[in-house]
A = this chain, B = another copy of it.
Amino acid sequence: MNQVLRALNDPSRRRMLELLREKDLTAGELAAHFEMSKPSVSHHLDLLRQAELVVSVKKGQFVYYSINTSVLEDLMFWLVTLKKN
């Protein structure tokens, strides 16, 4: 949960997840949505991958990123528990 929260603690990375919710994208396609440099995008994607919030697959010279929401479950459970009395 630590790494998940760390990854979520940045607006750009949250936006990346929203974009990947729509469909899988390459690193370059993702980068096109942001003002920052490609290496910076790559760095953010690395943090998302460390948290296992995304999975990447290389196809030729492209790297496709997909969202993986299963790791959100612990966090959601924790949040719900916090709300219960």
Contacts and interface: CB of A to CB of B under 8 A. Distances in A.
Given A75-B79, A79-B75, A85 B21 contact: yes
A50 to B, nearest CB: 14
Contact of A9 (B5, B18, B78): B5
A72 B83 contact: yes
Please tell me the size bucket of the interface on A: 20 to 34
Interface string A18-46: 10010000000000000000000000000
Contacts of A6: 9
Interface string A56-85: 000000000001010010011011111101
Interface of A: 2, 5-6, 8-9, 11, 14, 17-18, 21, 67, 69, 72, 75-76, 78-83, 85
